[in-house]
Amino acid sequence: MRVILSIASTTVGEAIRRRVLLIILLIGVLFLAVAPGLTVLSARQERTVLIGMTLGIIQLTSAVIAIVLTVYMIPNEIERRTIYTILCKPVQRWQFLVGKYLGAVAALGLMMALMTIVLVLVFALQQGVQQMDQLVLLAKAPAMFFVQMSLLAAVAIFFSTFVSPLVNFFLSGGLYLVGSLFNSFFEVISSNPNSPALAKGFATFANTILPNFANYNVQNPIINPGQIIENESIYYVRVTIYGLLYIGILLVGGIVIFDRREV
Amino acid sequence: MKGNKAKLFGVMAVLLVGAGLLQRTAIYPSWKKNFAPRQQGLSSDLSPDQLLVAMAGFRELIAGILWVRADSFFDTGNYDAILPIIRLVTWLDPKQIDVYSTGMWHIAYNFTDEEQRSDRRYVPPALALGKEGAENNPHTYEMFFETGWLWYHKIDDDHQKAVNWFQQALERKDIDFIAARKNLLSNALQRNGQVREALDFYLKLLADAEKVYEKDPSFGNQQNRDTIENNIDTMLVRMSQRGWFATQLGYRDQGEYDIDPPFDVGFSAQVTVEDPMVLRIRGSWNVQPVGSRIRFILRDSDFPNAVPGGMEWDKTDSVSLDPPKNITYVQDGLFVRNRRFDRKIDMSRDKTMYPCTKPDYVIEFFYNPRSAPPHIQDKFGWNGEGMTDKNFLNTEIRPGSRVIFATLKLTRDQLLRRGEWIDRVPVVQTPNYVPPKRLKDEPRMIAVPSTRAETAGGPNEPAPELAPSK
């Protein structure tokens, strides 16, 4: 375990030093800060637009960070040959992979926490600190996004064990996009009586087997507080378990592939 | 390693089954119920690119920008372009009440032919949009009120529906901020024939308004209280003069009331197809005061969900932006002046709105005193007690109300002046139709005599003139 933590902490340090990630983070934070100026676009819906937009900024920025952070992780180590200095020590490959993943997730968590703090500050300045309960409510979505991005990072690290970073970027990004649409597409296909049975079957299969990122898009009740959610906490626990299960699948898959790979 | 690999694959399989089961049985049903962008499911009207935009984040912002864009389409009169925006915005952000209410109004009112006659085929989807808006925004009165208003004003039939929607609006607290909107329930109750309930509701509003005024004696609160008082006064006078109290208390036969004896409106009508898709509608309506509008309907004989004098407007839950292209439904009001109506309806320039693809058509004339203005109702009563017609009085098609209802038939060939009707002018009319004569000394100013039977003559008799003013 100490080995894994050691690799993870080194990875966090590396991630924080990477300029490209810091630039993406900076852009995200800047957008969050100027977001209140764009609420004029919707009469009577300023608050709704502001929450929707800021959560969208966090989600998009986090997704880009998660992918950029992880796609280069393993290939860079191999390319620079730094992996040899690690693997020649008493470090198993699986420990290396898991350590790298945990480091990436920790770095991601730090960056998302920073963005969430900016989000809360923006709202505290605009709406006043007296509405603390709403600010806490606001932080719920980034918490779910964190699970979502951890899953995305697992997808990217899985692919990074056998494809090049560029391919991995599009593969992970594409899977994230498709995974975000799964529930909606599945809903359309299953509720349409004219959908072919084959399409319905495929949609059911895809919705069951492939990683479903849409589960973590829980903005609706936060953006529109009038909406009543049944068993909200249970839902959050379930999707977190789902995320952990899927991260487990991807890491195990990555370990199997990485173990066989010649470096 | 081989053994380990098998174990790892086993672990993966177990995890995959666990994740799949969790997704299918627990997560997806809950997500669909609570977190789906639109709880009713996605609209099949949205194209894949619209779907992509929707799911790419920034839904509310995009919805706002789209609505700003729609505003420019309103300005330029490009009404068709607004429809998909309405649908997309309400899907992206189902909490945009303004878009729901404006969209509902736009769909129901703004699609008109060259003569500004609205396309009633759009009313059911407009109602469906209102219903969806109310379901998505149950915490505010707004969409309940707006949907009620569509029933009350645009459809003006099946008034129980307007009453139901207004009552649901009143259950929401935020309607308290706009006191005047509450009054409309009383009007809807009157149109629904619930006169006692309408009065009771006004009395309740007055009690509430007095309490509010006591707490805050501002000018606005005083005005609100005074308006309700005035409405109650007017209503009590009407209830008295229209014999409502006498009927309820059983002494109607002991006095003279404005609704007695029932007045024969002497309805007759003739429809001439002057040119292909051009109708001339003439007829008699023996009521001198202005304010009578007789509903005219031309529809396919097999028009879906048709009922006498209208249709079942809320039969669909689908907000279709493209109503069926092969059905024809024309509805208009025939304005009565000097005891006759004479109206030309030109449908020839709007082939999309009036496709006329069916072989047979039904023409309906419908008059319901519940929709009449107060000065006509003063004679006819709320339910038509003071109105009759020896040929076309109908007490069945609108239970509880005495209405005038007549039907005629036309064929497609007649309507399009085809076949044997190329040279012959199709004319259909009620059996009692007599062409109303224009009187030589007919006053230019419309006389407004009492509608009491002894002073009102037939369609060909001169109207009594007003005494010259001094």
B8 vs A: CB within 8 A? yes
The per-residue pLDDT for A74 is: 87
Domains in chain B with CATH codes: 48-249 (1.25.40.10), 263-429 (no CATH)
Half-sphere exposure for A29 (CA within 13 Å, toward CB): 14
Would you call A221 and B35 a contact, using CB atoms and an 8 Å cutoff? Answer: yes
The per-residue pLDDT for B38 is: 54
Q: Which chain B residues touch A235 with a CB distance below 8 Å?
A: 27, 30-31, 34-35
Measure A54 CA to nearest chain B CA, in Å: 8
Would you call B95 and A255 a contact, using CB atoms and an 8 Å cutoff? Answer: no
Would you call A235 and B31 a contact, using CB atoms and an 8 Å cutoff? Answer: yes
The answer on pLDDT for B408 being more than 60 is yes
The per-residue pLDDT for B23 is: 87
Q: In chain B, positions 44-73, which contact chain A (CB-CB < 8 Å)?
A: 44, 51-52, 54-61, 63-65, 67-68
Q: How many CB pairs under 8 A join A and B?
A: 156
Is A119 in contact with A32 (CB distance < 8 Å)?
Answer: yes
The per-residue pLDDT for A160 is: 92
Residue range B418-445: mean pLDDT, rounded: 82
B41 vs A: CB within 8 A? yes
Residue of A nearest to B89 (CA): A42
Q: Which chain A residues touch B65 with a CB distance below 8 Å?
A: 41
The answer on pLDDT for B297 being more than 90 is yes
The per-residue pLDDT for B458 is: 46
Residue range B219-225: mean pLDDT, rounded: 92
B374 vs A: CB within 8 A? no
The answer on pLDDT for B410 being more than 90 is yes
Of A93-107, B78-92, B364-378, least confident by mean pLDDT is B78-92
Round to whole Å and give the CA distance between B380 and B382.
Answer: 7
- pLDDT tens-digit series, residues B91-126: 777 878 888 998 899 889 988 888 889 999 999 999
Compare CB distances from B22 to A53, A183, A241 and report the shortest one's residue: A241
Q: Which of B32, B38, B59 to mutate to test the interface with A (most CBs of A within 10 A)?
A: B59
Q: Which chain A residues touch B94 with a CB distance below 8 Å?
A: 224
Token code pair at residue A121: 């500050």
Q: Which chain B residues touch A256 with a CB distance below 8 Å?
A: 5, 8-9, 12
Side chain identity at A232, as an amino acid letter? Answer: E
For chain B, give the percent of residues with pLDDT over 70: 86
Would you call A223 and B44 a contact, using CB atoms and an 8 Å cutoff? Answer: no
Round to whole Å and give the CA distance between B197 and A176.
Answer: 58
The per-residue pLDDT for B72 is: 73
- pLDDT tens-digit series, residues B180-215: 889 999 999 999 999 999 999 999 999 999 999 999
Round to whole Å and give the CA distance between B425 and B276.
Answer: 10
Residue range B371-395: mean pLDDT, rounded: 94
Mean pLDDT over the full length of chain B: 85
The answer on pLDDT for B54 being more than 70 is no
Side chain identity at A51, as an amino acid letter? Answer: I
Round to whole Å and give the CA distance between B106 and B319.
Answer: 13
Low-confidence stretches of chain A (pLDDT < 50) are none
Nearest Cα to Cα of residue A96 among A203, A251, A239, A246: A251
Per the model's pLDDT, the better-predicted residue between B464 and B82 turns out to be B82
The answer on pLDDT for B470 being more than 50 is no
Beta bridge partners of B295: B333, B366
Per the model's pLDDT, the better-predicted residue between B83 and A49 turns out to be B83
Residue range B40-61: mean pLDDT, rounded: 49
Taking the CA atoms of A239, A245, A250 and A251 in sequence, report the sign of the dihedral they define: positive
For chain B, give the percent of residues with pLDDT over 90: 57
Q: Which chain B residues touch A227 with a CB distance below 8 Å?
A: 34
Long-range contacts of B455-463 (CB under 8 A, 24+ apart): B456/B263, B456/B286, B456/B287, B456/B288, B457/B286, B458/B266, B458/B286, B459/B266, B459/B284, B459/B285, B459/B286, B459/B339, B459/B340, B459/B434, B460/B434, B460/B436, B463/B288, B463/B338, B463/B339
The answer on pLDDT for B39 being more than 50 is no
Round to whole Å and give the CA distance between B32 and B37.
Answer: 9
- Segments making up each domain of chain A, as ranges: 2-260
The per-residue pLDDT for B235 is: 96
Of A220-224, B234-238, B279-283, least confident by mean pLDDT is A220-224
Concatenating the DSSP letter of every residue in A161-223 gives TTS-HHHHHHHHHHHHHHHHHHHHHHHHHHH-TTS-HHHHHHHHHHHHHS--GGGG--HHHHH
Residue range B38-60: mean pLDDT, rounded: 48
Residue of A nearest to B41 (CA): A187
Cα distances (angstroms) measured from residue B215 to each of B175, B211, B218, B221: 18, 6, 9, 10
Taking the CA atoms of A128, A132, A133 and A134 in sequence, report the sign of the dihedral they define: positive
Q: Which residue has the tokens 């991260």?
A: A247
First to last CA, chain B: 117
Compare CB distances from A212 to B12, B23, B41 and report the shortest one's residue: B23
Q: Which chain A residues touch B41 with a CB distance below 8 Å?
A: 187-188, 191
Would you call A184 and B51 a contact, using CB atoms and an 8 Å cutoff? Answer: yes
Q: Which of B28, B39, B46, B91 to mutate to test the interface with A (most CBs of A within 10 A)?
A: B28
Query: Quick one: residue B305, left, alpha or beta (phi over 0 = left, psi -120 to 50 = alpha)?
Result: left
HEC sequence for chain B: CHHHHHHHHHHHHHHHHHHHHHHHHHHHHHHHHHCCCCCCCCCCCCCHHHHHHHHCCCHHHHHHHHHHHHHHHHHHCCHHHHHHHHHHHHHHCCCCHHHHHHHHHHHHHCCECCCCCECHHHHHHHHHHHHHHHHHCCCCCHHHHHHHHHHHHHHCCCHHHHHHHHHHHHCCHHHHHCHHHHCHHHHHHHHCCCHHHHHHHHHHHHHHHHHHHHHCCCHHHHHHHHHHHHHHHHHHHHHHHCCHHHHHHCCHHHCCCCCCCCEECCCEEEEEEEECCEEEEEEECCCCCCCCEEEEEEEECCCCCEECCEECCCCCCCCCCCCCCCCCEEEEEEECECCEEEEEEECCCCCCCCCCCCCEEEEEEEECHHHCCHHHHHHHCCCCCCEECCCCEECCCCCCCCEEEEEEEEEHHHHHCCHHHCCCCCEEECCCCCCCCCCCCCCCCCCCCCCCCCCCCCCCCCCCCCCCCC
Token code pair at residue B441: 């000394």
Token code pair at residue B349: 């320039």
The answer on pLDDT for B390 being more than 80 is yes
The answer on pLDDT for B50 being more than 60 is no
DSSP state letter for A80 = T
The answer on pLDDT for B160 being more than 70 is yes
Q: Which chain B residues touch A55 with a CB distance below 8 Å?
A: 57
The per-residue pLDDT for B179 is: 77
Is B56 in contact with A173 (CB distance < 8 Å)?
Answer: no
The per-residue pLDDT for B243 is: 93
Q: Which chain A residues touch B23 with a CB distance below 8 Å?
A: 207-208, 212, 215, 242
Long-range contacts of B208-217 (CB under 8 A, 24+ apart): B209/B179, B212/B179
Round to whole Å and give the CA distance between A46 and B63.
Answer: 12
Q: In chain B, positions 82-121, which contact chain A (CB-CB < 8 Å)?
A: 93-98
